[in-house]
């Protein structure tokens, strides 16, 4: 999604763009099976106070929402150390206004696309419900709502009765909820299809089934790249390879701290009940999104390297959580459904990488968005197009520079 958005916006600035993809037009990577949420409410980075302790407590349960698979990896150790260093209250405080601005700017682009392209990607602006089934969970979300309002993001605290009135078609077992009216959701598969088509209309050339095998350099300049389809050359190179971005840079001697955070989803084609609003099951960290007549449940953050295998324990964790909040659903409803998984590119500080590298004058990155790829892709593409055109970025992206851990 980030690569498509960057290509589309760059073409809109008059650039001749070639998008190189190792997959085929029918491949479904991380941008397809996710929850499809656009979330201004998510202004706290993944590296937040308390996350290290929480992750350590969850390590004992293979069904927990957050799991790091132990393995001998220097890159993982370095990433973990940087994550620990970043998970402070001061980092969260500094990052919140930036993430708010990025989300709101991205949402505005989605509104533009919906106005231009009609109902082609399921754009739905009824907000998000943060559903809480415990008093402790409710207290935490109320505090988050207060922080949101302090940043200018509207948030409404609902008791159990008010939550039920907002979702009359759902059977709920919750203490209450927080409603974030600026949040939205969409159908990621339909979005990828329409954005790909619009990029092609704008002149973007697609090279499918093409892998990057090496780089050619001349001093501080990238002079070309070697691909499975032969040599390619351009004036500018933008790395939007998601969880694989760091490995593609090693031949250049550039380190980009990045870990793959695996997420899972299951999609019910004919759900017994259908919500109006997308939701997060707060304590369980499970997303629930109505999508094209189906209902998608997604969750977990599993750090297991570039492993795209399905771990049944991670899926069980999601399935066990759903009936605790939505008792009309049972694990039997999901029998026969093949779980999907995708690898999210996660930076150590929970902020994406957007902008030029210092070592090479014509090499940039647009990656590291973790769980916010769909939410932030439109603004990322717009910002990268501004960078490539040597325009002042419309938002301050100094904190997003890809060299910040050098």
pLDDT of residue 406: 84
Across 108-118, average pLDDT: 97
**pLDDT digit string (tens) for 76-108?**
999 999 999 999 999 999 999 999 999 999 999
The band of 70, judged by pLDDT with boundaries at 50, 70 and 90, is confident
Task: Please name which of 258, 283, 261, 206 lies closest in space to residue 78, comparing C-alpha atoms.
Answer: 258
Phi and psi for 352 in degrees, rounded to 5?
Answer: -70, 165
Q: Is 90 exceeded by the pLDDT of residue 65?
A: no
pLDDT of residue 59: 75
pLDDT of residue 61: 80
Side-chain half-sphere CA neighbours of 194 within 13 A: 17
Q: Is 80 exceeded by the pLDDT of residue 234?
A: yes
What are the helix (H) ranges across 241-358?
245-249, 312-325
DSSP state of 392: P
Mean pLDDT is lowest, of 32-36, 52-56, 111-115, 345-349, for 52-56
**HEC string for 10-28:** HHHCCCCCEEECCCCCCCC
Class of the CATH domain delimited by 2-400: alpha beta
pLDDT of residue 31: 86
The band of 55, judged by pLDDT with boundaries at 50, 70 and 90, is confident
Across 284-310, average pLDDT: 94
Across 222-245, average pLDDT: 96
Q: Is 80 exceeded by the pLDDT of residue 325?
A: yes
User: Mean pLDDT score of the chain, rounded to an integer?
Assistant: 95
The structure tokens 């004036």 sit at: 235
pLDDT of residue 8: 98
Q: Which two tokens stand for residue 1?
A: 């999604």
**Is the whole-model pTM more than 0.75?**
yes
Q: Is 90 exceeded by the pLDDT of residue 69?
A: no
pLDDT of residue 66: 86
**pLDDT digit string (tens) for 128-187?**
999 999 999 999 999 999 999 999 999 999 999 999 999 999 999 999 999 999 999 999
Q: Which two tokens stand for residue 215?
A: 């780089």
Cβ(35)–Cβ(291) below 8 Å:
no
Task: Give the residue extent of every domain in the chain.
Answer: 2-400
Would you call 208 exposed, middle or buried from its count of C-beta atoms within 10 A (0-12, 13-18, 19+)? middle
pLDDT of residue 230: 95
pLDDT of residue 372: 97
pLDDT of residue 247: 93
Task: Please name which of 41, 39, 37 lies closest in space to residue 148, comparing C-alpha atoms.
Answer: 41
CA atoms of 231 and 214, how far apart (whole Å) = 9
Across 15-30, average pLDDT: 89
Task: Please name which of 404, 81, 3 lies closest in space to residue 243, comparing C-alpha atoms.
Answer: 3
Buried b (16+ CB within 10 A) or exposed e, 319-358: bebbebbbeebeeebbeeeebbbbbbbbbbbbbbbbbbbe
Number of Cβ within 10 Å of residue 6's Cβ equals: 29
């Amino acid at each position: 999604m980030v690569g498509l958005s960057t290509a589309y916006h760059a073409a809109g600035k008059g650039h001749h763009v070639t998008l190189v993809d190792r997959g085929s037009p029918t491949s479904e990577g991380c941008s397809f099976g996710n929850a499809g949420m656009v979330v201004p409410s998510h202004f706290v980075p993944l590296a937040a106070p308390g996350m290290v302790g929480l992750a350590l407590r969850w390590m004992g349960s293979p069904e927990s929402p957050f799991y790091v698979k132990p393995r001998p990896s220097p890159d993982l150790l370095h990433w973990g150390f940087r994550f620990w260093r970043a998970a402070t209250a001061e980092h969260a405080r500094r990052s919140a206004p930036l993430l708010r601005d990025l989300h709101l700017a991205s949402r505005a682009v989605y509104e533009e696309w919906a106005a231009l392209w009609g109902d082609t990607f399921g754009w739905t602006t009824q907000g998000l419900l943060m559903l809480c089934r415990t008093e402790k969970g409710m207290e935490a979300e109320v505090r988050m709502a207060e922080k949101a309002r302090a940043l200018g993001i509207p948030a409404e605290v609902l008791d159990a009765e008010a939550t039920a009135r907002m979702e009359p078609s759902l059977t709920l077992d919750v203490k209450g909820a927080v409603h974030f009216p600026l949040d939205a959701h969409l159908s990621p598969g339909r979005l990828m299809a329409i954005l790909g088509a619009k990029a092609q209309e704008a002149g973007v050339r697609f090279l499918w089934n093409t892998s990057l095998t090496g780089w050619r350099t001349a001093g501080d300049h990238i002079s070309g790249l070697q691909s499975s389809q032969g040599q390619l050359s351009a004036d500018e190179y933008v790395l939007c390879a998601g969880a694989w971005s760091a490995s593609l840079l090693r031949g250049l001697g550039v380190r980009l701290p990045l870990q793959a955070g695996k997420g899972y989803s299951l999609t019910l084609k004919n759900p017994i009940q259908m919500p109006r609003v997308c939701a997060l099951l707060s304590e369980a960290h499970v997303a629930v999104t109505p999508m094209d007549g189906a209902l998608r449940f997604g969750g977990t953050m599993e750090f297991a390297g570039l492993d795209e295998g399905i771990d049944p324990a991670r899926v069980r964790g999601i399935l066990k959580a759903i009936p605790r909040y939505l008792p009309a659903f049972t694990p039997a409803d999901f029998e026969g459904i093949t779980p999907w998984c995708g690898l999210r590119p996660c930076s150590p500080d929970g902020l994406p990488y957007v902008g030029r590298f210092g070592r090479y004058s014509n090499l940039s990155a647009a990656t590291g968005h973790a769980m916010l790829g769909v939410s932030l892709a439109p603004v990322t593409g717009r910002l990268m197009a501004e960078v490539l055109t040597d325009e002042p970025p419309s938002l301050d992206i100094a904190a997003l520079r890809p060299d910040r851990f050098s």
